[in-house]
């Protein structure tokens, strides 16, 4: 039943952005040392950030894929959040501390769509941190690979 609901949510999101407000599943918790913290950003708030799409390969899939979402640094700038690192936490309690410079050195995307399809929780959704791996040779390294957090739901800015 929940699966079905999630699937429906995805379908409606693809069909029209007007129905996106009806999806409580899409929310990102941001905590840390900034004025509005803690804050939970819903779909409407995230839609305000300009959408970006990057093409890249990943270490866990074949071929290249297009990822659509928003830039991590746009989100941090939007919140006025500053610090040295961001701890990203996934639904399965996987957590990684990512240096802040990554987001300013590279166009690190918080993807909501892969190849035009919304990411589902039963796959890599709702959010997947994607590095532009193919554009920078230095990013083709296992020390960057573990920063590709999927099923992201919380960021802690330190």
Whether a cis peptide bond, with omega within 30° of 0, leads into 42 is: no
Min separation Cβ 1 and other proteins, Å: 3
Min separation Cβ 120 and other proteins, Å: 8
DSSP class of residue 50?
P
Residue 48, CA distances (Å) to 2, 15, 78, 131 in order: 28, 19, 9, 22
Q: What is the rounded CA–CA span in Å between residue 120 and residue 147?
A: 20
φ, ψ for residue 84, nearest 5 deg: -100, -25
Give whichever of 84 and 140 is closer to other proteins, judged by the CB atom.
140
φ, ψ for residue 47, nearest 5 deg: -65, -20
Min separation Cβ 68 and other proteins, Å: 19
- What the block records as the tokens of 56 is 């890249």
Min separation Cβ 41 and other proteins, Å: 20
Binding site for other proteins (CB under 8 A): 1-4, 6, 59-63, 91-92, 94, 120-124, 140, 142, 145, 150-151
User: Pairing relation of β-strands 85-90 and 64-71?
Assistant: unpaired
Give whichever of 76 and 147 is closer to other proteins, judged by the CB atom.
147
Give whichever of 36 and 137 is closer to other proteins, judged by the CB atom.
137
Give whichever of 84 and 138 is closer to other proteins, judged by the CB atom.
138
Min separation Cβ 122 and other proteins, Å: 4
Give whichever of 83 and 132 is closer to other proteins, judged by the CB atom.
132
């Amino acid at each position: 039943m929940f699966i079905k609901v999630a699937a429906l949510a995805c379908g409606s999101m693809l069909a029209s952005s007007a129905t996106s407000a009806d999806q409580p599943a899409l929310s990102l918790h941001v905590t840390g040392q900034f004025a509005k913290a803690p804050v939970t950003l819903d779909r409407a708030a995230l839609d305000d950030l300009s959408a970006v799409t990057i093409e890249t390969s990943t270490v866990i899939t074949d071929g290249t894929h297009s990822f659509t979402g928003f830039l991590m640094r746009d989100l941090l700038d939007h919140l006025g959040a500053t610090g040295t690192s961001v701890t990203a936490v996934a639904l399965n309690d996987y957590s990684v501390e990512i240096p802040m410079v990554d987001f300013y050195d590279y166009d690190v995307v918080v993807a909501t769509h892969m190849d035009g399809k919304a990411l589902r929780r039963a796959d890599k959704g709702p959010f997947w941190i994607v590095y532009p791996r193919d554009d920078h040779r230095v990013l083709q390294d296992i020390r960057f690979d573990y920063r590709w957090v999927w099923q992201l739901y919380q960021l802690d800015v330190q």
